[in-house]
Structure 1
Amino acid sequence: MKNEYRITYMKDTITINTINVYYESYVEEGREKPTIILIHGFLSSIFSFRKLMPLLTEHFHVYAIDLPPFGKSEKSRSFFYSFSTYSKLVASFCAKKKLSKVNIVGHSLGGQIAMHVAKTYPDLVNKLVLLCSSGYITRPSRKMLAASYIPFFKWYMKRKLAESGIRGNLMNVVYDKKIVNEELELGYVEPFLDEAIFDALLVMYRKLENHLISNELNQITTETLLIWGKEDRVTPLSVGKRLHKDLPNSKLIVYEKAGHLIPEEIPEKIVTDIKKMINLST
């Protein structure tokens, strides 16, 4: 008799190092499947994977995390917003969920965090998938960091984010402008309706370190797939090519007519590439 398995969808909050972290998961109990952890980018949330997650569930146990202070996770001023802290948060999440040998998919800033996890906890990570990952960005200058302590700086940050508006910002991260609709706008603007996020972003601005540099990337031996949109204006293809050169066990795939927000633009192609990488049949 054929076993009947059921995929359970869960959305919940878990406390990690005193911070409340929101996550969503699709887990098929009793069935052996690879596990995927999804890590979103800057000013984003789990919402950015809304098209990708359902496509992955047939072949993987899927977990997606809202990084503090984004999405529905806690917007704390006491959290130390650094790459090392974020990578520890991901590792602690896996420990609490008893996950091992996970495959991490990181988009934009999430890609940088994914690389930090692979570098710091190599035994935890099976394979990496970097979607238009950020790379080679340095911290703000001392002058800008000093300015961040001036009382009006939070207002300045809010103004910069609002200048082009949510629609303008979304238009900048996609190739096909037709996909920018009301649903997309509401999904990305919702976390910013909570005023606390701006205080947290100010702390993040002060704490986030430099991105990994070449000699550090050379130490990551995890098999890595880089997927890029050729028309990416946020992290240009040149960043992808440089990461491909610095990551010793990597492959780069580039898609025409795709921008930075490829989880929204080409989710089917991404899933196909991930399945091939992890040697799963269709």
Structure 2
Amino acid sequence: MPMLEMQMPEVALAPGTIEYEDTGGDGPVLVFVHGLTMDGSVWDDVVAGLAPAYRCIRPVLPLGGHRIPMHADANLDLLALGLLLGEFLERLDLHDVTIVQNDWGGAQVLIANGSTDRIARLVLTACEAYDNYPPGLPGTMLGIMLRAPGGLRALLFGLKFTLARRAPGSWGWMSKRPVPKAMMDSWFEPATSNALVRRDLRKYALSTPADSILLQWAESNSAFDKPVLVVWGTEDKVMPIEHGRRLSRLYPNARLIELDDTYTLIPIDKPAELTSAIIDFVPLR
């Protein structure tokens, strides 16, 4: 008998409807942010160690792993999606939120350009920063493929195979330990099967602002004086460790944890260590 697809709650935002997962409860609110061509399942092992003491919310952002296409005329550039994160907090009426981010850099964009009234803390784990958009060699290769006719479909077809997924410069540089096959299959399926999801992904990925704007947004984050935890891998090949160190100096109230034996996807490589760091950083009421 085929597995039934679990129905997730949905919320209508300006660009379109997005799905999300919510463990519920009265504990401190943690909103987990995923990266390009992923969904909230990248956080599965971390959330398992936090709920139900913490209320863990995982929106599926329109970054290529989403199942519901956005409106045809939606603006899906980096600024718009950073502000969409703020709209999500508002629509769910969330307060005293800790945003926990990995890979994508949308939280910094929100802090630079939107309201931070609902944000109490920030956890940045190995993510885009400064002018590293799209990040590293994988980001460069994605840009090349997106600009080539049929390139995105060819890329997604190649990523059906484990050899391509674990190749250097591909997903092999995103995590030291292989992402479970079923999880990665679910990440790539929407863009593989739905041309409108590919359209959304292309809109976002080809909209990177000039480096001068990215650096201006980064420096604007220095005005965020609430607690910030920066967690970075010393061996990361995509998000340089120096960016983690710079971020820890940029925020007035930040501390840095450096982890060995992990690449960018710390929730995959070091979930227990990351979970412990979040528990220490976000006190239970």
Q: Which residue of 1 aligns with 2:236?
A: 232
Sequence identity percentage: 19
Report Cα offsets for 1:101-141 as digits up to 9, x if no partner: 211001111xx21123334212110000011011122679x
- After superposition, where does 1:133-152 map in structure 2 within 5 Å? 133-137=127-131
One-letter code of the match for 1:175? Answer: K
Separation of aligned partners in 2, 1:129 and 1:205: 24
Separation of aligned partners in 2, 1:221 and 1:40: 24
Q: Which residue of 2 aligns with 1:98?
A: 93
- After superposition, where does 1:239-258 map in structure 2 within 5 Å? 239-258=243-262
Secondary structure of the structure 2 residue equivalent to 1:126? strand
Secondary structure of the structure 1 residue equivalent to 2:223? coil
Separation of aligned partners in 2, 1:20 and 1:107: 22
CA contact (8 A) 1:104 1:129 kept: yes
Q: Tell me which of 51, 60, 84 is aligned to 1:89.
A: 84
- After superposition, where does 1:21-170 map in structure 2 within 5 Å? 21-28=18-25, 32-76=26-70, 77-109=72-104, 112-119=105-112, 120-137=114-131, 153-159=148-154, 162=158, 165-168=164-167, 169-170=170-171
Separation of aligned partners in 2, 1:50 and 1:37: 13
Secondary structure of the structure 1 residue equivalent to 2:228? strand
Q: Give the greater-gyration-radius structure (CA).
A: 1
One-letter code of the match for 1:116? Answer: V
One-letter code of the match for 1:117? Answer: L
Q: Which residue of 1 aligns with 2:214?
A: 211
In structure 2, list runs of 5 or more residues that go unmatched.
1-5, 135-142
103 and 152 in structure 1: CA distance in 2 versus 1, 3 angstrom threshold:
closer
Normalised to the residue count of structure 1, the TM-score between the two structures is: 0.80
CA contact (8 A) 2:27 2:284 kept: no
**1:20 maps to 2:2:** no
Secondary structure of the structure 2 residue equivalent to 1:132? strand
Separation of aligned partners in 2, 1:51 and 1:173: 17
Normalised to the residue count of structure 2, the TM-score between the two structures is: 0.80
Separation of aligned partners in 1, 2:22 and 2:78: 23
